[in-house]
Amino acid sequence: MAEMKFIAGSVCLDFVNTVGARVTGRDIVLRDKLKDYPDLATWSRLAGLFTAREVRCLERAAESHPARAAATLARALRLREALFRISKSLLGRSAPDESDVDVLRNELSIAKAHERLVRTKTGFAWAWDQSDHALDAPLWRVSQSAADLLTSADLGKLRQCGGDECGWMFLDTSRNRSRRWCDMKDCGNRAKVRRFRRREGHR
């Protein structure tokens, strides 16, 4: 399985980044990391959305209902690409496509239907209904995270990596708002090598 990375500072942006890269200016995904439902389940565990035991339940449910698992993955990818295009529009200070916002709205209304008000020791809290190991439970968290981000002041920290072949999104929480790369070890380092080569007269 492809390596999953969590560098965005936001669940929904880490979800957008479940691709090897995106080709600039075109809606092309390279090295998609969500190839099947188990990839989505594993990503959810690594993202800290579910415990290993919960993910095993999701995987077992997917094995018993392969057609539903495939449909859920298709929904996940549709949501991911809609979130990417919404983010890209916001970065370009243009209005996101209404059809993309509708994809998120639909996912959110499904998610909201699974929220439960539960008693805690000190009062009440929102929790997700997990009783039936719903295959789309990872999408509830992602769409909730997207709604949280879109309605928060953190949206102003949204950036896209400056790497040549990357396209990943993240929140720039650096003190002087100077983060340019998804990861200094990847795109940041490649850019450094390129600058060095130019200085040395290589091409």
Note whether 1 and 42 are within 8 A (CB): yes
Tally Cβ neighbours within 10 Å of residue 28.
Answer: 11
The residue with tokens 């396209």 is 167
Q: How far is the CB of 127 from Zn ion (least distance, A)?
A: 35
CB contact set of 126 (below 8 Å; sequence gap of 6+): 115, 116, 117, 118
Q: Which is nearer to Zn ion, 111 or 166 (CB)?
A: 166
Q: Which is nearer to Zn ion, 19 or 137 (CB)?
A: 19
Note whether 31 and 21 are within 8 A (CB): yes
Does 8 help bind Zn ion (rule: CB under 5 A)? no
Instruction: Please select the residue that binds Zn ion; options are 58, 86, 142, 182, rule is CB under 5 A.
Output: 182
CA angle centred on 131, ends 101 and 9, rounded to 5°: 45
CB contact set of 108 (below 8 Å; sequence gap of 6+): 143, 144, 146, 147
Does 21 help bind Zn ion (rule: CB under 5 A)? no
Does 187 help bind Zn ion (rule: CB under 5 A)? yes
Instruction: Please select the residue that binds Zn ion; options are 163, 170, 171, 179, rule is CB under 5 A.
Output: 163
**Interacting span for Zn ion (CB under 5 A) from 30-38, 141-149, 154-162, 190-198:** 154-162
Q: Which is nearer to Zn ion, 127 or 184 (CB)?
A: 184
Does 150 help bind Zn ion (rule: CB under 5 A)? no
Does 138 help bind Zn ion (rule: CB under 5 A)? no
- Binding residues for Zn ion, rule CB under 5 A, total 6
Instruction: Please select the residue that binds Zn ion; options are 40, 166, 169, 171, rule is CB under 5 A.
Output: 166
Query: Which DSSP symbol is given to 17?
Result: T
**Interacting span for Zn ion (CB under 5 A) from 70-78, 89-97, 151-159, 174-182:** 174-182
* Residue 35 Cα distances to 44, 67, 179, angstroms: 14, 15, 30
Note whether 41 and 58 are within 8 A (CB): yes
Q: How far is the CB of 32 from Zn ion (least distance, A)?
A: 16
**Residues near Zn ion, by CB under 5 A:** 161, 163, 166, 168, 182, 187
